[in-house]
Structure 1
Amino acid sequence: MWILGKKILSTLINDGRGRGFYYMFIMNASHAIGILRACLNKLLYYRNIKSSIFSLQTNSRIDVFSKHARIYIGKFVFIRKNASIRVDHYGELFIAEKVFINDHCNINCVYKITIGKNTKIAPNVSINDHDHNFRENSGEHLVKGEIIIGENVWVGSNVVILRDTVIGDNAVIAAGSVVKGNVPANTIFLNKREKSYIQYA
């Protein structure tokens, strides 16, 4: 216990020297509030959320709309501001340890989404494991499919990840991409962009 305390104190002092002690205090106060907000959400959905220590920053929220829905969050997951995580029906969301989810991200799960450890998700990313079933007038209004995001994946800003997608370990998803299908491990995925100009006058 003494060794751990000494290590934490040393880290804080070094961080304070680098950032400035005022800014180091503000940052760590923000982290502490995020952890308290995460604990509050865990209490609110105590039957649905299984987790270790994680942080849920200002205006981010977790919504669970079914007694069957399950969320598993590993240790040291960090969810920044204005993120929305919604799990409904029989949805299962697995977020492994040390995953970072940036500002304004949306995760909508009604079936199954897995995010591997050490994965980093940039701002404004949307992850949806379902589509609206607009082709049929059957009772099932959603078309569902699994999403698996591997370990140590980097997902760039404004990416949309659709159902039936598997992203391999160490992959990089370029900003602005729309992803559906298989992305092999250790590759960079990008949608080809071509400029076109149409004369209108």
Structure 2
Amino acid sequence: MDQNSKLMFELNGQYHPNDEVLALVSQMTRRKINSSNRILPPMNTDFGRHLYLGNDNFINRNLTMIDFGGIYLENHVFIGPNVTLLTVNHDERPNQRQNLRTSAIHVEDGAWLGANVTVLPGVTIGKNAIVGAGSLVTKDVKASTIVVGSPARYVKTIKANDKYTRLNIQ
């Protein structure tokens, strides 16, 4: 964790062009990050090496990741500002709370997480799904659907030929 803390400080402590940001994230993950990705610091992660990035992803400012259980962002994923991805939970029993329970998060191709979304351990966000701003995602989101709220709930299915319409969410 000390090495990751140093890398986080370097990443977040001053301006870096995207190629330098990707180089620092590559050091964190211990894997080359494809140059088609765009990451806007600051971002924070506890380990970093459990983050897996595909190609052509956009990560907006203030992403927080507790990545010990594994975070997989496939391709063409959009992450809005102030998103939190949590792969760790604790036992409910008070005398066992120091024990960690980890479960990976998967964000499939083309998915979009709006601003201030929180995703809990073990969740898969399906291909081309949209999670509306401020949502708390506690269970899997099916491909090509829109979910919103706390907890996130199904609103509609996205069709390839849909035109943009403002959702009337009550």
| Structure 2 length-normalised TM | 0.71
Q: In the TM superposition, what is the alpha-carbon distance from 1:164 to its structure 2 partner?
A: 1.2
Q: In the TM superposition, what is the alpha-carbon distance from 1:139 to its structure 2 partner?
A: 8.3
Higher RCO structure, 1 or 2 (CA under 8 Å, sep 6+): 2
TM-superposition CA deviations, 1:57-112 (whole Å, max 9, x none): xxxxxxxxxxxxxxxx3342111021113327xx6221111111101111111122
Q: Given the alignment of the two structures, is residue 35 of structure 1 paired with residue 19 of structure 2, yes or no?
A: yes
Superposition map of 1:105-116 within 5 A: 105-116=63-74
Given candidates 118, 139, 143, the residue that maps to 1:160 is 118
Superposition map of 1:35-184 within 5 A: 35-40=19-24, 42=26, 49-51=30-32, 73-87=33-47, 92-138=50-96, 141-184=99-142
Query: Equivalents in 1 of 2:150, 2:25: separation in Å?
Result: 40
Note if contact 2:114-2:134 (Cα within 8 Å) is conserved in structure 1: yes
* 3-state SS of paired residue (1:137): helix
Bigger Rg, structure 1 or 2? 1
Note if contact 2:90-2:97 (Cα within 8 Å) is conserved in structure 1: no
| Structure 2 CA distance for partners of 1:173 and 1:104, relative to 1, 3 Å | same
Structure 1 unaligned blocks of 5 or more: 1-29, 52-72, 196-201
Query: Equivalents in 2 of 1:154, 1:139: separation in Å?
Result: 33
TM-superposition CA deviations, 1:36-56 (whole Å, max 9, x none): 24335545x5xx5111xxxxx
Name the count of aligned residue pairs: 139
Note if contact 1:75-1:96 (Cα within 8 Å) is conserved in structure 2: no
Percentage of pairs with the same residue = 25
Query: Equivalents in 1 of 2:136, 2:147: separation in Å?
Result: 10
TM-superposition CA deviations, 1:6-48 (whole Å, max 9, x none): xxxxxxxxxxxxxxxxxxxxxxxx77x33124335545x5xx5
Note if contact 1:147-1:164 (Cα within 8 Å) is conserved in structure 2: yes
Query: Equivalents in 1 of 2:69, 2:150: separation in Å?
Result: 30
Q: In the TM superposition, what is the alpha-carbon distance from 1:172 to its structure 2 partner?
A: 0.3
Structure 2 unaligned blocks of 5 or more: 1-14, 152-168
Query: Equivalents in 2 of 1:172, 1:40: separation in Å?
Result: 29
Note if contact 2:105-2:123 (Cα within 8 Å) is conserved in structure 1: yes
Note if contact 1:174-1:190 (Cα within 8 Å) is conserved in structure 2: yes
Aligned-residue RMSD, C-alpha: 2.7
Aligned amino acid, residue 42 of structure 2: N
| Structure 2 CA distance for partners of 1:138 and 1:42, relative to 1, 3 Å | same
Aligned amino acid, residue 107 of structure 1: M
* 3-state SS of paired residue (2:23): helix
| Structure 2 CA distance for partners of 1:104 and 1:118, relative to 1, 3 Å | same
